[in-house]
Structures are given as C-alpha cells and as structure tokens.
C-alpha cells in the first residue's frame, strides 16, 4: 500500500511529502485533512490512468476534494475539465475525455475501521478538540492508500462540456444572460443573492 517512491523517498502527486503539503497550504489556506487524504486518492487515480491520457475529473463533494484536483492536475472548475457534484461522497474519478473510461477512487469505510483516527474523524465520532490536526495528518500520511479503494469505470453521464447557449440582453439590468432563463435574467426575476445599496 505505498504511493510512488523514488530512491526511497515517498512521492505524492509527483511531489515529496513536504512540497505536497506546502502546495496544499498555499492554495487552500491550511493543511486540511480532507485535502491531504484527497491528495492520496488523486495520486492513485493519476497512477492508474497513466501520464499519457488527457483526463477530465469528477469529484463527488464540494468539500476539499476539488482543490486536490485543481492543485495537482490541469483540471480546474474554470477550464471545464473538473466537474464538482455536491453529493457529499468522498470519491473522485479521472477518465479519458475521449474514451470515457477511467478510474474512481474512494475513501473506503470498511478499510478505514482499522485506522480509528481516520474513521472517527470522517464519521465525526469524536469531538474535534480530542483529535488534533497533527495527529490526524500523521494518521493520513501513515495510512496512505490502505483506507482507499479503486475501480475501473465507464462514464455514462455528465461528461459533456458546459456549452454557452443563446445570449440575450436582459431588459432589467442590461447585462448579457442565457436566453434559456426566460424573459429576464434570474437576478431580475428575484432569484439573485444581493440588494444593491448606495
């Protein structure tokens, strides 16, 4: 259950552990345990799909995992190569964007039971105060892939890139919006998130 090693040094997503953790902190703001665990998931998925495949990514939660993909692969939200499903499952997939075949890696609870710190953290069975970040990170770095599972998949839905449809100019705000939203943009229909103030 090891990740890639070169001359004995552990590499995660192609980086020595220290660099891997530093990049996480620089992008995400702190060494979030979900993101460190996610890095090991991604490391495995990247190894399975190999370096020569142009891969798109799907993550099944908004929490932490999207950042692992965005830090360590070319896939981002803004370039459309990463899709984020708000399903709160701790799983990610990399797949060949033409053949639609790929690999899903997930946090496997049945395996995690043998690493109580990780199991208890994920299932929120102990108060945060009783499990320090330092101890939790050490458990993740020790466990590596031993708490993960993977399987080969064929992507059957949601693989299309988001296309822009017909654009109209909103009669309410004068901004461009997708015609499919109706006679005015969603915000002018009262579905927006702000009040304009002075």
Residues at the interface with a copy of itself (CB under 8 A)? 27-29, 32, 35, 58, 62-68, 70, 74, 76-81, 84-91, 93, 101, 104, 106-110, 122-124, 151-159, 162, 164-165, 167, 169, 174-178, 181, 185-187, 192-198
Nearer to a copy of itself, 76 or 146 (CB): 76
Q: Which of 12, 10, 9, 50 lies closest to 31, judged by CA? A: 12
For residue 8, the minimal CB distance to a copy of itself (Å) is 30
For residue 56, the minimal CB distance to a copy of itself (Å) is 11
For residue 77, the minimal CB distance to a copy of itself (Å) is 4
Nearer to a copy of itself, 5 or 61 (CB): 61
For residue 9, the minimal CB distance to a copy of itself (Å) is 25
Nearer to a copy of itself, 6 or 114 (CB): 114
CA dihedral 170, 176, 181, 183 (to 10 degrees): 20
Nearer to a copy of itself, 87 or 133 (CB): 87
Other Cβ atoms less than 10 A from the Cβ of 11: the count is 15
Q: Which of 87, 106, 108 lies closest to 158, judged by CA? A: 87
* DSSP letter string, 2-69: ---EETTEEEETTEEHHHHHHHHHHHHSS--HHHHHHHHHHHHHHHHH-TTS-EEEEES-SSSHHHHH
């Amino acid at each position: 259950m090891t990740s890639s090693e070169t001359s004995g040094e552990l590499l995660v997503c192609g980086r020595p552990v220290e660099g891997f953790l530093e990049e996480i902190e620089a992008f995400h703001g702190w060494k979030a345990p979900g993101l460190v665990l996610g890095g090991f998931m991604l490391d495995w998925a990247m190894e399975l799909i190999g370096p020569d495949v142009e891969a798109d990514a799907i993550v099944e939660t908004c929490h932490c995992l999207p950042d692992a993909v965005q830090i360590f692969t070319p896939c981002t939200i803004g370039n459309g190569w990463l899709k984020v499903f708000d399903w709160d499952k701790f799983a990610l997939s990399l797949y060949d964007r033409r053949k639609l075949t790929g690999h899903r890696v997930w946090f496997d609870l049945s395996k995690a039971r043998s690493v109580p710190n990780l199991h208890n953290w994920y299932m929120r069975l102990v108060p945060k105060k009783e499990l320090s970040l330092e101890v939790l990170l050490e458990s993740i770095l020790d466990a590596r892939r031993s708490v993960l599972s993977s399987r080969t998949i064929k992507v059957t839905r949601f693989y299309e890139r988001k296309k822009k449809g017909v654009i109209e100019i909103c009669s309410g705000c004068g901004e461009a919006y997708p015609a499919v939203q109706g006679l005015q943009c969603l915000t002018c229909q009262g579905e927006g998130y702000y009040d304009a103030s002075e």
